[in-house]
Amino acid sequence: MSRPIARVLTLLELLQSGGIRTVAELADRLGVDERTVRRYVDHLLDLDVPVESVRGRYGGYRLASGYRMPPLMLSDDEALAVLLGLVAGERAGLLTAAGAASGTAAAKIRRVLPERLGRRIDAVLGSLAFTAAPRAAAAPETAVLLAIADAVRHHRPVSVRYTAADGRSGERVLRPYGLVAHAGRWYVTGQDPAIGEDRTFRLDRIAGARILPGSFEPPAGVDPVERVLTGLATAPYRHEVTLRIRATAELIRTRLPASVALVEEEEEEEETAEAASGTAESSEGSERWSRVELRVERLDWLPGVLASLDRPFVIERPDELRGLVAALAARLARSARAEPNERN
């Protein structure tokens, strides 16, 4: 696309955004002089685009009321960004119940692209690979997502029909603080006024959402992402695990993210922890101990995580985890002593 044509299309896009645009403003946005702006306007008029000239102190150009742009006009960068966004959203599991919408939208965009650009984008999409497939999960209904997003934006309470993990369902009222997309699922977090506590709901378990009259003021500095991740990390599970690890919270987070564990660095070392862990390496002596709490359905994956951290640690509970760690250590020791040709 040549530079003058691209600027004419950009001019059309600016006018399409509404209101009166002064010649000086348009010249600044397009990077041209005012005379060139007027020439670009003439080009649009030649294409039967109804650009109106408004005289006076606050005059300029605007589009005639009711005019609609052609179906689609995208630059190379914009077309690639849109299609990559659709593909990435689908791969990340961030779809609504109308999951086919991303495919049909991509197909529509692809059909109206110039052949040259279409071939180049096909080459990108055809050679693109993702490191992990999305987790299979039920997607939220489009109407639910849009209603809750509107309630969040305008600070309105919302009534939802929610089905909990145990199968119980009913009407809930929520004052939503924000929507969060995490690990292929959508969540909404906010206050339940009936109990005066914060709650987090999965959108795919909401069968319907209805905005209620009135409004509310969210707490100052509320962070929906932090609330959702903390809620996931403290949800009730079969095992409650408490650890103390001689490492920074940042390092621990590389193996136990915020959605899995609560990590808090301790202010001072305790002699009991030092004794329980044995003699630490000199490079670890300056590191604080961190307290780690998590709830899990299974313990068998934790010994490998603790080993991968390669830092002294103390298991406060449960005792069952101690046995699993000892068993892993024994297996590693046997493997280390095995001869190259030994298979048993």
- Averaged pLDDT, 45-53: 86
Question: Cα-atom radius of gyration of the chain, to the nearest Å?
Answer: 29
Q: Which of 78, 69, 83, 81 is nearest to 111 (CA)?
A: 83
Residue where one domain finishes, among candidates 63, 86, 104: 63
Better-scored residue on pLDDT, 145 or 311: 311
* Whether pLDDT at 43 is above 50: yes
Whole-angstrom distance, CA of residue 93 vs CA of residue 137: 8
Same domain, 80 and 56: no
Residues 280 and 331 in one domain: yes
Residue of higher predicted confidence among 106 and 271: 106
CB 123 within 8 A of CB 100: no
pLDDT value at residue 282: 42
Residue 216 scores a pLDDT above 90: yes
Q: What is the mean pLDDT of residues 271-300?
A: 66
- Mean pLDDT calculated for residue range 214-222: 89
Direct distance between the N- and C-terminal alpha carbons of the chain, in angstroms, rounded to an integer: 67
What domain range is 300 assigned to? Answer: 239-335
In a domain, 341, yes or no: no
Q: Residue 12 has what pLDDT?
A: 84
How far is residue 272's CA from residue 268's CA, in Å, rounded to a whole number? 12
The proportion of the chain whose per-residue pLDDT surpasses 70, expressed as a percent, equals: 81
Mean of pLDDT values over 144-151: 87
Q: Is residue 153 part of a domain?
A: yes
Other CB atoms within 10 Å distance of the CB of residue 83:
21
Q: What is the pLDDT of residue 8?
A: 87
120 band by pLDDT with thresholds 50, 70 and 90: confident
Residues in the chain: 344
Q: Which of 186, 77, 180 is nearest to 141 (CA)?
A: 186
Top pLDDT among 277 and 56 is at 56
Is the pLDDT assigned to residue 334 strictly greater than 70?
yes
Would residue 344 count as lying in a domain? Answer: no
pLDDT category of residue 57 using cuts at 50, 70 and 90? confident
- Do 262 and 310 have their domain in common? yes
Amino acid sitting at position 60? G
Same domain, 196 and 150: yes
Is 242 or 129 the better-scoring residue by pLDDT?
Answer: 242
Q: Which of 307, 329, 333, 183 is nearest to 243 (CA)?
A: 307
pLDDT of 291-314, one tens digit each? 999 888 889 999 999 999 999 999
Structural domain includes residue 340: no
- Residues forming beta bridges with residue 210, ordered by sequence position: 159
Cβ-count burial of 80 within 10 angstroms (0-12 exposed, 13-18 middle, 19+ buried)? middle
Mean of pLDDT over the chain:
81
Residue 132 vs residues 88, 93, 135, 183, 184: alpha-carbon distances, Å: 12, 11, 9, 11, 12
In the prediction, which pLDDT does 279 show?
44
Count of structural domains, the chain: 4
* Whether 259 and 328 share a structural domain: yes
Q: What CATH number has the domain bearing residue 51?
A: 1.10.10.10
Same domain assignment for residues 265 and 329: yes
Residue 233 confidence (pLDDT) above 80: no
